[in-house]
Chains A and B, each alone.
Chain A
Amino acid sequence: MSWDCGGGDCRASWQHFQHDADVGLMGHGATLDEAFEQTALALTALITDPAGVRPLVERPIHCEAPDMELLLVDWLNALIYEMATKNMLFSRFRCHITDHCLAASAWGEEVDVMRHAPAVEVKGATYTCLAVRQEAGGWVASCVVDV
């Protein structure tokens, strides 16, 4: 598996990694909450440059899952659902995880095709390369998304 750092900056706390037909997302953070937030940012970066998405509208998101890995998939799928049904892109995230429950907010704006030039539409988060783990430097969350 080869790795690709988002935004060309290897110090960034999210990354894309390669999967045959699709792309993997990875978020790093000092806390679990932060790792989930960064994975969401990696999701947006697949579609457009997050820096070009204005955090104008807040959308609340709540997820509950039997384990932390399914919670990550649920979180990303909830964002994909919000993007698809509200025609939005998000660039700022705040997560709060307790006992496999996620209370989050995502801030963004409606898609502007000319300005955002969305590269791809994400179909769903998968269980491939799915992991949520604590490492020496903090937390890492990853999975492949189908595009």
Chain B
Amino acid sequence: MDLSRLEPCGPFAWQLPVQGAMRVPGIIYGDAGLLASMDDKVASQLANVAALPGIVQAVYAMPDAHWGYGFPIGGVAAFDAEQGGVVSAGGVGFDVSCGVRLLHTGLLRKEVARRAACLADALLAAVPAGLGRGGALRLDEAEMDAMLAGGAVWAIARGYGWPEDAWRIEEQGCMAGADPAQVSAQAKRRQYDEMGTLGSGNHYLEVQEVAEIYDAACAQAFGLREGAVVVSMHCGSRGLGHQIGTEFLRRMVIDADQYGIVLPDRELACAPILSETGQAYLAAMRAAINCALANRQIITHLTREVFARLFPEARLDILYDVSHNTCKEELHEVAGRPKPLFVHRKGATRAFGPGHAELPDALAEIGQPVLVGGSMGAASYVLVGCSSAEAMSFSSSCHGAGRAMSRTAASKKWQGRAVVAELAQGGILIRSPSMRGVAEEAPGAYKDVHAVVEAAEHIGLSRRVARLMPMICIKG
């Protein structure tokens, strides 16, 4: 990125001043190295988002930001409905409520390592991954609607989990304001046999080891200790969310004229929050959030069944579940007063600090766990939300490393089988139906997530608690 367009405001923050049609400035977080590796289009996309009606305060790019669709991935923008603010299907993305869930196991590395191959095979067999593998659970129309209204709470009520799971999930496992009637028959049809499936691309199910603790008190409060084994999953709302994104992106592009919205980029398709299209999208998008929460809940259940068979002593409690592609109505302080805002986080994680009213009691004094995904050879991180992030990013932080290399370049550079063999030598087992998929997701194709979380900590967006290293990775 050409830094001459930006004004430094502190060692880890850069401002894109208001210019042209921008209504608010853009703020990019990261050190000079991270910014240098960002595409110039991140700044251009921030400028476009900053020009949307009703935007509040500033538009932010997290340290892992990269070129996205309309919004940069790693972008955070909040809108005030009363000031003509908009909701953008592009600002949420296709994979609505894609997120990360982390489970404890109560096991240690040495206990799991002895039967790692067996566990890897059993997880691959139990959790459908990749294109062409549907889930075992098929929902009729009434159950589909119940799932879309109830999220993980619905899944738990149907036996896919434990009652205590719900409070360890954002929104206590059920996104309010979802309306299944606003979800098209096509979107529901696309979800028909995709409940409890991982998908493909950068989605995964991993068995990981806690490799390093940065904050002992916080780690203890989260139940993490060095050498412990955890399970992490990264996936979203599957076909249903993709279809809702597709349909509303189109509808918002066509309706933009009607609402007097000039789109600098069609991908920024949006509608006023207080419009028919805006309300319909919010209701459908919230249903997709519930679909993602139910999906991760069912995968949790399938994972628990595998562990119960192979490690009867294991107990897979949820540490936390975060979503990083959402638009949520939240109270934030603007000019010293609390204000309801519609916060878009596109490839960014909500990161509430200690004392936030939305946190469950057990986390109130510590802050929200922020789960940053890595994959295969790369580390994942558990961070904790900081109160300082409220003024800096509407309480948001990073979500992952971001790609350093395109899929086509990665599949030319690496052979899937060689990647699997190399990782196996390092003690990491990969299971995937597609070797080309593995090559495209090779660890070297991603940026250094370490630099991203370090920057997030220096800035005060969130603080490192633990680093997790993969032992087994199921890739779609």
Contact = CB atoms under 8 A, between A and B. Distances in A.
Nearest to A21: B403
A123 B440 contact: no
A116 B133 CA distance: 13
Contact of A16 (B246, B253, B408, B437): B408
Interface in A40-80: 47, 66, 70, 73-74, 77, 80
B433 A124 contact: no
A106 B145 CA distance: 32
A19 B131 contact: no
A123 B70 CA distance: 16
B109 interface: no
B266 A130 contact: yes
Interface centre among A23, A120, A130, by most B CB within 10 Å? A120
A116 B132 CA distance: 10
Contacts of A116: 132
Contacts of A113: 130-133, 433
A83 B239 CA distance: 11
A30 interface: no
Contact of B130 (A18, A73, A121, A144): A121
B295 interface: no
Interface residues of A, number: 40
A128 B41 CA distance: 12
Interface in B261-302: 265-267, 269
B201 A121 contact: yes
A147 interface: yes
Given A23-B408, A111-B131, A117 B436 contact: yes
Contacts of A118: 130-132, 200, 433-434, 437
Given A80-B242, A123-B201, A126-B94, 18 more contacts: A19-B67, A20-B73, A20-B406, A21-B67, A21-B403, A23-B407, A74-B250, A85-B192, A117-B436, A118-B130, A118-B433, A119-B434, A119-B436, A119-B437, A121-B130, A121-B476, A124-B94, A126-B69
A127 B253 CA distance: 10
Interface of A: 2, 4, 16, 18-23, 47, 66, 70, 73-74, 77, 80-81, 83-85, 87, 111-113, 116-121, 123-128, 130, 144, 146-147
5 contacts: A20-B66, A20-B68, A23-B406, A120-B437, A124-B243
Nearest to B243: A81
Contacts of A126: 69, 94, 249, 267
A44 to B, nearest CB: 12
A121 B73 contact: no
Contacts of B476: 121
B317 interface: no
B433 A77 contact: no
B253 A18 contact: no
B332 interface: no
A124 B440 contact: no
A74 to B, nearest CB: 7
B190 interface: yes
B402 A21 contact: yes
A37 B327 CA distance: 36
B408 A4 contact: yes
Nearest to B93: A146
A57 to B, nearest CB: 15
A108 B51 CA distance: 44
Given A19-B406, A84-B190, A117-B434, A147 B250 contact: no
B367 interface: no
